[in-house]
């Protein structure tokens, strides 16, 4: 059983359906369906064969089998299948908009990774999905994905180095059987800190990591208190904002602030709402 399918009951059925919805969007994000992507979709079908006699898969599996019988998927067939999945993901007993959106994002990344290549068109499609679902900005891993995608698309081209960074990030959240292992130092702050975050101070808990390019840590703490916020030196599940110092090494994985950044990401998997923000955005909010 694939590691991304380890959960049970009706909630598992719903997550599987949301994941399929994202996979379909990811596979067709560049308006082309390759042989490798069809193979990956077949793998998904095989790995979820246990659901074929359960609603709503009693409707989806026959449609999938018919569409893939000739080894190809036409634009019309894909549109029909996507419409069917859309109809079946709304108003179910376990439907939750936020959870479903992130499940769809996971599937979308899986679909993009399906053929082992990441194209500019696919990332532009992912960017459009991100823009259309901005209400889920605080749900992990939305902001990590948004930050890296925005950074990559700055020059409108996804080069080889950027492909590797995207693959590494996508594989953190979406698993195909075939993985490419990359060194952690290939991830930089541009793929971790939230973009143009809305930072509020009253009663919010802040933590700081790394070195500030502006002032000592004690002055930062005083500034936060002056704005009605709270400062804790230790990162916890209750931390609202982790501010990353601008003077630190941009390759976060092995820098002085890597431990807290990694802890914040892990805490968010556990349900924490910690937003990782760059020091520059922090000071912009202080002055705003």
Give 252 or 82, the one with higher predicted confidence: 82
As a whole number, mean pLDDT of residues 266-287 equals: 85
Predicted confidence at residue 192, as pLDDT, reads 66
Q: Which of 243, 232, 223, 226 is nearest to 205 (CA)?
A: 232
Q: Are residues 124 and 214 in the same domain?
A: no
Predicted confidence at residue 210, as pLDDT, reads 78
CATH number at residue 261: 3.40.50.10190
Q: In the predicted model, what is the mean pLDDT of the chain?
A: 76
C-alpha dihedral sign at 153, 75, 85, 62: negative
Among the three residues 155, 182, 209, which one is the final residue of a domain in this structure?
Answer: 182
Q: Which of 124, 115, 215 is nearest to 162 (CA)?
A: 124
Among the three residues 146, 165, 182, which one is the final residue of a domain in this structure?
Answer: 182
- The tens digit of pLDDT for each residue in 2-34 reads 443 333 455 666 677 777 878 887 877 777 777
* First and final C-alpha spacing in the chain: 50
pTM score of the predicted model: 0.48
Q: Are residues 265 and 131 in the same domain?
A: no
Q: Are residues 70 and 207 in the same domain?
A: no
List the structure tokens of 214.
């502006």
Q: Are residues 22 and 150 in the same domain?
A: yes
Residue recorded with tokens 């996804």: 158
How many Cβ atoms sit within 10 Å of the Cβ of residue 9? 8
- The tens digit of pLDDT for each residue in 162-199 reads 888 888 777 766 554 443 333 333 344 555 677 778 89
Predicted confidence at residue 3, as pLDDT, reads 40
Domain span holding position 246: 191-287
Give 186 or 112, the one with higher predicted confidence: 112
């Amino acid at each position: 059983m694939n590691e991304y399918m380890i959960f049970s009951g009706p909630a598992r059925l719903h997550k599987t359906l949301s994941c399929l919805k994202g996979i379909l969007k990811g596979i067709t994000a560049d308006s082309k369906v390759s042989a490798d992507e069809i193979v990956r979709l077949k793998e998904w079908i095989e790995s979820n064969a246990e659901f074929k006699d359960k609603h709503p898969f009693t409707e989806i599996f026959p449609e999938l089998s018919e569409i893939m019988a000739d080894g190809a998927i036409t634009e019309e067939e894909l549109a029909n299948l996507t419409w069917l999945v859309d109809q079946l993901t709304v108003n179910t007993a376990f439907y939750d908009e936020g959870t479903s959106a992130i499940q769809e994002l996971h599937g979308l990344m899986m679909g993009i990774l399906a053929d082992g290549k990441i194209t500019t068109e696919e990332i532009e499609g992912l960017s459009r999905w991100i823009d259309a679902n901005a209400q889920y900005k605080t749900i992990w891993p939305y902001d990590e994905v948004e930050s890296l995608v925005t950074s990559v698309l700055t020059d409108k081209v996804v080069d080889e180095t950027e492909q590797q960074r995207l693959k590494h990030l996508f594989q953190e959240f979406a698993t195909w059987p075939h993985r490419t292992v990359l060194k952690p130092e290939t991830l930089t702050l541009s793929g971790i800190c939230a973009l143009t975050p809305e930072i509020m101070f009253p009663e919010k808990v802040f933590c700081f990591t790394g070195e500030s390019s502006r002032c000592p840590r004690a002055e930062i703490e005083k500034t936060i208190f002056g704005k009605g916020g709270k400062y804790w030196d230790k990162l916890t599940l209750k931390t609202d904002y982790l501010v990353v110092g601008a003077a630190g090494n941009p390759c976060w994985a092995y820098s002085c602030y890597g431990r807290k950044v990694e802890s914040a990401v892990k805490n968010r998997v556990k349900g924490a709402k910690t937003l990782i923000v760059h020091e520059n955005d922090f000071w912009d909010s202080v002055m705003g």
